[in-house]
Chains A and B, each alone.
Chain A
Amino acid sequence: MADAATIAWTPRGSWAGILASGEFGTAGQPGVTIEARDGLGIASLIAGDGRDEALAQALQGHIGLGLPLTPCIVSSARHSLVWAGPDQWHLIAPDRNGFDELLRDLAPLAAISDQSDGRAALRLSGPKVRDTLAKGCMLDLHPSAFPVGTAALTSIAYMGVHLWRIADDPASGDAVFEIMVARSMAGSFWSWLSASAAEFGCKVTATGRG
Chain B
Amino acid sequence: MRITCPHCGARDVQEFTYLGDANPQRPEGMATTEAAMHDYVYQRDNPAGRHRELWYHSAGCHAWLVVTRDTRTHAIETVETARARAQGDAA
Contact = CB atoms under 8 A, between A and B. Distances in A.
Say if the two chains contact directly (CB < 8 Å): yes
Interface of A: 71, 84-86, 88, 138-139, 152-155, 160
Contacts of A139: 11
Contacts of B11: 138-139, 154
Interface in B75-91: 81, 83
B8 A155 contact: no
B63 interface: yes
A139 B11 CA distance: 7
Contacts of B60: 152-154
Nearest to A84: B61
Contacts of B59: 153-155, 160
A84 B11 CA distance: 16
B44 interface: no
Given A138-B15, A154-B60, 17 more contacts: A71-B7, A71-B8, A71-B9, A84-B61, A85-B7, A85-B63, A86-B7, A86-B63, A86-B81, A86-B83, A138-B11, A138-B12, A152-B8, A153-B8, A153-B61, A154-B59, A155-B15
B15 A86 contact: no
Which 10 residue pairs spanning A and B have beta carbons closest together? A155-B59, A85-B61, A138-B12, A153-B60, A153-B61, A86-B7, A85-B62, A160-B59, A86-B63, A71-B8
Name the residue in A86, A155, A160 with the highest tally of chain B Cβ atoms < 10 Å from its Cβ. A86
Name the residue in A138, A152, A153, A155 with the highest tally of chain B Cβ atoms < 10 Å from its Cβ. A153
B88 to A, nearest CB: 15
A152 B83 CA distance: 21
Contacts, number: 34
Nearest to A70: B7
A154 B58 CA distance: 9
Contacts of A85: 7, 61-63
B14 A155 contact: yes
A123 B91 CA distance: 45
Nearest to B62: A85
A154 B63 contact: no
Nearest to B13: A138
Contacts of A155: 14-15, 59
13 contacts: A71-B7, A85-B63, A86-B81, A138-B14, A152-B8, A154-B8, A154-B11, A154-B15, A154-B59, A154-B60, A155-B14, A155-B59, A160-B59
Contacts of A86: 7, 61, 63, 81, 83
B53 to A, nearest CB: 20
Contacts of B9: 71
